[in-house]
Amino acid sequence: MAIRIISLFCLLGVFEARPAAPVAFRAHVLADDLKGGYQVAAADLNRDARPDLIALSSASRELVWFENPGWTRHVIARDLRGLINIAVGDVDGDGIPEIAVAWEFSMRPSQSQGRVGLLRAPADPRQPWSLQEFDRLPTSHRLRWAAIEGKRPGVLINAPLAGAVAEPPDYQAPVPLVLYRPGQWKRETISEELQGVLHGIAVTDFDGDGREDVLTASFRGLDLFTHTGAGWRRTHLADGNPDPWPKSGASEVAVGRLRNSRFLASIEPWHGNLVAVYLQEAGVWKRVVIDDSLAEGHALETADFDGDGRDEIVAGFRARGGGLYLYRTADQRGQRWLRQSLDSGKMATSSCVVADLNRDRRLDLACIGGSLLMWFENVPSAQVPSRKRVGAQSESQARRQASVASGGFEQAGQ
């Protein structure tokens, strides 16, 4: 009997081990002249069924989009100072997305007007769009659409970075979380329960009732906001990094799925060095730190790039030259993860978005940071990745091309 049990465990061990086939990406540079590349979003802006990329750069006054597949650059709006965030959604249902935008951002609430508005496309979306401003809320920082009643795009969530009276470095003040209903564009408060810096939000149908919920990453950790008939209900999910304020809590949050379970992923603390995964055990979200090597972690996404029914994690960081990592589960439960560098050319990664950009049914990745906008083409792993350049290639790009990662795996640190 003892022998039979041992054999069974060996067998389980074999099934649990995953083949060491990295996800292979071919890197393409779409722009290398951005100023403070901060956020990239994907949406089909010209109704040709190809997802286009919208690039927001915090040190530029222009919001631009890149038209798939030739990646020609078009200006959406000019003269927007302190651009910080966009959210793309088809508000009027005509098949052309509108873009909510936040600008006049500053890390100091007393110096941030936090203007929020909606950009509408003209008949030809390659021409400049019109802007309707509808709110000013200091440090408006994260915009996302949320179908809180099931219908898209739903309401616009605005998460300011900090309260209007907060002062760095502690930002000790309540920070509001608000929403706007399209058409009315009147600010409604979801909650003022969070404190300190509220850096990241994620919108997802967390409780599976067909209506989207809002997850927040702040100095208080990870929280869930659910819209109910009686208003908004906050559920505290996890404390995040245990260090004292202002190194407490979390900076980014994402939800991923394994075959029979799900996990939370976070970057901790604010602009932090940690990638943490939370796995639900007996109703509690148990924290597993899977990497401690980031420098100013800022980008976080989850997606099933290799189609095995389990989400991978993408995390990017901005400091020390930057970097971009992909993590795959090494076991069924998400306790152990393997790390793969996607860009050894050191992209100062600020944000990424997942979309099938070349429509081959394999999810691709686009990332922005510093001067760069890049997309990473998910290719069958038998193909050797190389970096393709759209347009002229600078000397620095050529050097970077020589050092681009081909996708070797390493064990993620603790």
Contact 263, 286 (CB under 8 A): no
| Cα-based distances in Å from 30 to 69, 125, 285, 328, 397 | 11, 19, 39, 27, 11
CB of 348 to Ca ion, least distance (A): 25
Count of residues near Ca ion by CB under 5 A: 18
According to DSSP, residue 23 is labeled P
Q: Coil, strand, or helix at residue 4?
A: helix
**What is the spatial distance between Cα 326 and Cα 341, in angstroms, rounded to a whole number?**
6
The residues in 177-236 that bind Ca ion, with binding defined as CB under 5 A, are none
CB of 280 to Ca ion, least distance (A): 19
CB of 166 to Ca ion, least distance (A): 35
Among 332, 344, 358, 401, binds Ca ion (CB under 5 A): 358
The span of 209-217, 253-261, 291-299, 310-318 binding Ca ion (CB under 5 A) equals 310-318
Closest alpha carbon to 219 in 254, 249, 177: 249
CB of 224 to Ca ion, least distance (A): 24
**What is the spatial distance between Cα 123 and Cα 120, in angstroms, rounded to a whole number?**
10
Tokens of 314: 């993408």
CB of 313 to Ca ion, least distance (A): 10
**What is the spatial distance between Cα 265 and Cα 272, in angstroms, rounded to a whole number?**
13
**What is the spatial distance between Cα 310 and Cα 276, in angstroms, rounded to a whole number?**
17
Q: Does 126 bind Ca ion (CB under 5 A)?
A: no
Residue 68 C-alpha from the chain's centroid: 21
Q: Does 308 bind Ca ion (CB under 5 A)?
A: yes
The residues in 35-54 that bind Ca ion, with binding defined as CB under 5 A, are 44, 46, 48, 50, 52
Q: Are strands 98-103 and 85-89 parallel, antiparallel or unpaired?
A: antiparallel
Beta bridge partners of 302: 313
What helix, strand, coil percent values describe the chain, rounded to 5? 5, 45, 45
Among 32, 213, 268, 306, binds Ca ion (CB under 5 A): 306
Among 28, 271, 310, 387, binds Ca ion (CB under 5 A): 310
CB of 355 to Ca ion, least distance (A): 8
Q: Does 96 bind Ca ion (CB under 5 A)?
A: yes
CB of 149 to Ca ion, least distance (A): 19
Q: For Ca ion, give the closer residue by CB, 170 or 304.
A: 304
Q: For Ca ion, give the closer residue by CB, 26 or 271.
A: 26
The residues in 76-95 that bind Ca ion, with binding defined as CB under 5 A, are 90, 92, 94
Q: For Ca ion, give the closer residue by CB, 354 or 405.
A: 354
**What is the spatial distance between Cα 110 and Cα 318, in angstroms, rounded to a whole number?**
26
Q: For Ca ion, give the closer residue by CB, 46 or 381.
A: 46
Q: Does 362 bind Ca ion (CB under 5 A)?
A: yes
Q: Does 364 bind Ca ion (CB under 5 A)?
A: yes
Contact 156, 143 (CB under 8 A): yes
Q: Using CB under 5 A as the criterion, which residues of the chain lie in contact with Ca ion when the complex forms?
A: 44, 46, 48, 50, 52, 90, 92, 94, 96, 304, 306, 308, 310, 356, 358, 360, 362, 364
